[in-house]
Structure 1
């Protein structure tokens, strides 16, 4: 499972890296170039995945969309990780009023449906890559916070933490030196699973017209544009962006499940002297 997930994620990463280069070299048409192409042309030797109703090459749009999806997802999940982990450690270690305030705020965010909250934030922030990443980031911060906070609260009374505290180590040193590397071990699983969910949420925002500008090649936006032509038998404009979204989510999910299984196996094995 881990191997297949890694292969899929690496494949989309390579596609995201080489597509702008191929466009710059002129080996692929621009993702928004469509005036010279037939409109809603079926797949052929010139356009392997056909063209959409604006005459744009669906294959190029799908390839370029992988870069946009990975860029937004990495920004969103990375920012959520950077914000959620320190807040969770501070809340779990110090407790008291700080813990109550942070828990109240995170529980309020966590109680809202992911897509609904991201829709509201995307509407308020407007369209754009950074705005979409910020909307998704706020959605995933509570998940990192809750996981890290619970682990920190459990581990702060361990003997090695008490020993460090009795030797004069301050809270900042204990959090950085002893607790961080213990609570961070479970983050990669949540990271990959959140990345898979973020691809779907980003696609949902684009499908609803709340994601990125129309000129940006994004799978959800392309599905929204192609929705009107599906009843007329034009299937290729929805098949290829939808298939790309499905396989990337599948790869990230496989990777997350594989990492979780590997970590569980590592914890089950007895530690050597």
Structure 2
């Protein structure tokens, strides 16, 4: 959508623009990864940090030279918690999508290759999950699993497994009909060997595009869970939880507690969307390949 908007109003060529957007997204994502890696060294925080700078007497202080993004209602530095939130978001997103890939891709290949009752049962299960509203499904799973980093990742994983299953299943069923697969079957090759040797490399090409789009969506999904008080404990500096706490302060003119976490989330989602759009154009042939 960003490519079409800029093409229409600025007259840039889609091929050049989508490549530039993808490069910008990659650099921004690398910056977030770097921030997530060095934030424990900067603030002395652990895996589930509570970045409390000991400023209990400086409640809701506005941005200043000492505290660039101000402090919140607990006297905590907003800049520190926003930076720490990048690490938390990336950990949950990477873990959730990794689990979704581990579950969804093999199930999609099994369903598309064998067909029959196995295919019908898996398709019925995945279509049922896929038909549910994603936010509601994530909320229910987070409520059932409880708070925690692993539980939040598992709740998001359930949302995205059907998407990988559907994409991989359709690709597997299409590739299975090719002559080279039939030739391998006629020579006595087993299903595991065929799926590993021929099917996997052909069906996996469409997964990175879905993965990148899901990464952007999962950042927003995690923020939604945090805003509702689910997913991660309250002490964890998560962007959605920060926005929830800042909601009551906005009417009183305390804008900085909401601006910086929201801006960090927006930039990360935009960067991931740019990468996904560039990958989609490259896979579909709209971009010149290197």
> Of the candidates 221, 227, 238, which is equivalent to residue 218 of structure 1?
238
What TM-score, normalized to structure 1?
Answer: 0.94
- Is structure 2 residue 79 aligned with structure 1 residue 51? no
Report the Cα distance in structure 2 between the residues aligned to 1:241 and 1:14, rounded to whole angstroms. Answer: 17
Counterpart pick for 2:111 among 79, 91, 94? 91
State the match for 2:189 in structure 1. Answer: 169
Match of 2:88 among 68, 71, 79: 68
**Which residue does 1:138 correspond to in 2?**
158
Q: Is the 2:56–2:74 Cα contact (8 Å) retained in structure 1?
A: no
Counterpart of 2:251 in structure 1 is 231
Aligned pair partner of 1:261 in 241, 265, 281? 281
Question: Which residue in the other structure is 1:250 paired with?
Answer: 270
Q: CA deviation at 1:167?
A: 1.2
Q: Contact 1:211 / 1:221 at 8 angstroms: preserved in 2? A: no
**Cα distance in structure 2, aligned partners of 1:155 and 1:267:** 24
SS of equivalent to 2:249: helix
Contact 1:30 1:60 in 2 (8 A): no
**In 2, Cα distance between equivalents of 1:216 and 1:24:** 14
Unmatched 5+ residue regions in structure 2?
1-20
Taking structure 2 as the reference length, the TM-score comes to: 0.89
Deviation of 1:30 after TM superposition, in Å, equals 6.5
Of the three residues 104, 117, 122, the one matched with 1:102 is 122
Q: Distance in 2 between matches of 1:33 and 1:145?
A: 45
Tell me which residue corresponds to 2:97.
Answer: 77
Contact 1:37/1:56 (<8 A) preserved? no
Are 2:204 and 1:184 equivalent residues in the alignment?
yes
Measured in 1, the distance between the counterparts of 2:236 and 2:288 equals 46
Is 1:123 paired with 2:143? yes
Q: Any conservation in 1 of the 2:89–2:238 contact (CA below 8 Å)?
A: yes
CA distance in 2 between partners of 1:180 and 1:206 (Å):
36
Query: For 1:150, which of 161, 170, 189 is the aligned residue?
Result: 170
What is residue 37 of structure 2 aligned with on the other side? 17
8 A Cα contact 1:34 1:54, kept in partner: no
Once the two structures are TM-superposed, the CA of residue 268 in structure 1 deviates from its matched residue by 8.9
Tell me the CA shift for residue 150 of structure 1. Answer: 0.6
Q: Partners of 1:74 and 1:268 in 2: how far apart?
A: 29
After superposition, the Cα gap between the structure-2 partners of 1:152 and 1:30, relative to the gap in structure 1 and judged at 3 Å, is closer
What is the alpha-carbon root mean square deviation over aligned residues? 1.7
Report SS of the residue matched to 1:217.
coil
Partners of 1:111 and 1:71 lie apart in 2 by: 27
Distance 1:226 1:104 in 2: 42
For 2:251 and 2:281, the matched residues in 1 are separated by 43
Q: What per-residue deviation string (whole Å, max 9, x for no partner) do you get for residues 180-216 of structure 1?
A: 0000011100001000000000000100111211110
Alpha-carbon distance in 2 for matches of 1:179, 1:172: 10
CA distance in 1, matches of 2:140, 2:273: 26
